[in-house]
Amino acid sequence: MSEPEILLEMDGHVAVVTLNRPDRMNAISTKMLSHFSETLVECDRDPKVRVVLITGAGRGFCAGLDLQEASQGTGIGGASGTAAATAKFDLRDAPPTVLHNLDKPTICALNGGAAGYGMDLALGCDIRIASDKSKLSAAFTKRGVLPESGGTWLLPRILGWAKAAEVAFAGRTLLAQECLELGLVNQVVPHDQLMKEAGALAHEIAGNAPLAVQATKRMMRMGMDETFEANVHHVYLQLLPLFRSQDFQEGVSSFLEKRKPDFKGR
């Protein structure tokens, strides 16, 4: 029996999700899409999970959608006829959309190349820790498509319009250090230290009050598309249940008692 193409392991309160198709550089097959989305939703619903860490098996993070499947007419966008191809490619429950709507913090441990769809997945995570052997490739226009899974929304917000236009229109490939200089990744670390460093940050976040972390992410996400006044109002509504939580009491008590807090997510 072959291994699952999406792996899920728990490391304390950190869910490690691995794209597991190393022989194809973790190119996304049709059957991986629903499994990946279901895994992300499962992590978001599980109270034991406080952070989701996403990485790839083998040498690459994700080579994008499986073009070999597409060329054979069996993969995403590979069906003959416009209607059939569109029917196979529905973004409403696809991983980038599900990833964007997660309340749990997400970290991408970028272990190698991320091209096309894989780049969109990496950019869709809240934080990116990159191996010094990694790269991001916006190869969409070189394949006759556009950044279909969040890139057109994410890139201008991360880079600003002009730089995003240069990267996307020209189909640029950016090495790890270039990604760091542009602000596309948070850190670049030696390849053999990637999971250690990404895991350390994941556990640092997981040690904080999970309801507060999730509310912070939710308000930051909403704040991208609303006025300051609207965001202040929504933040106030988020504060009310947090003030009544056990974790708030624990946060105050631990501060006064000068000890490390023990948050329960309640």
Above 90 in pLDDT, residue 148? Answer: no
Confidence (pLDDT) at 142: 86
Q: Is residue 263 part of a domain?
A: no
- Domain match, 117 and 198 both: yes
76 and 172 inside one domain:
yes
Residue 261 lies in a domain: no
- CA 171 and chain centroid, separation: 21
| 75 has a pLDDT exceeding 70 | no
Selection from 156, 176, 116 nearest residue 140 by Cα: 116
CATH number for 56: 3.90.226.10
Q: Are 248 and 215 in contact (CB under 8 A)?
A: no
Q: Are residues 200 and 219 in the same domain?
A: no
Domain that holds residue 178: 6-206
**Is 60 exceeded by the pLDDT of residue 82?**
no
Residue 1 included in any domain: no
Q: Greatest CA span in the chain, whole angstroms? A: 67
132 and 226 together in one domain: no
| Whether 174 and 243 share a structural domain | no
Question: Is residue 153 included in any domain, yes or no?
Answer: yes
Residue scoring higher pLDDT (216 or 90): 216
**185 and 107 assigned to the same domain:** yes
Residues 138 and 38 in one domain: yes
Q: Is residue 264 part of a domain?
A: no
Co-location of 60 and 121 in the same domain: yes
Domain membership of residue 96 (yes or no) is: yes
pLDDT digits (tens, 9 = 90+) for 206-242: 999 999 999 999 999 999 889 999 999 999 899 999 9
Same domain? For 177 and 234 the reply is no
pLDDT score of 169 more than 90: yes
Assess whether 38 and 113 both reside in one domain: yes
Residue 77 has pLDDT above 80, yes or no: no
The pair of three-digit structure tokens given for residue 185, joined into one six-digit string: 């990744």
CB 129 within 8 A of CB 198: yes
Residue 70 above 70 pLDDT?
no
* Segment 92-130, tens digit of pLDDT: 678 888 999 999 999 999 999 999 999 999 999 999 999
What are 154-163's pLDDT values in tens digits?
999 999 999 9
Tally of domains within the chain:
2
Closest Cα to residue 15, out of 57, 44, 58? 44
Point out which residues pair with 55 in neighbouring strands: 18
The answer on 197 and 232 residing in a single domain is no
The pair of structure tokens assigned to 166 is: 């240069």
Q: Is residue 67 part of a domain?
A: yes
What's the chain's average pLDDT? 90
Query: 15 and 67: one domain?
Result: yes
pLDDT tens-digit series, residues 174-195: 999 999 999 999 999 999 999 9
Q: Is 219 exposed, middle or buried (0-12, 13-18, 19+ CB in 10 A)?
A: middle
The model's confidence at residue 258, banded by pLDDT at 50, 70 and 90, is very high
Inside any domain, residue 127: yes
Within a 13 Å sphere around the CA of 231, how many CA atoms are in the beta-carbon half?
A: 14
CA distances 237 to 243, 247, 250, Å, are 11, 17, 21
Distance of CA 231 to the CA centre of its chain: 23
pLDDT, residue 165, reads: 96
pLDDT of 81 > 50? The answer is no
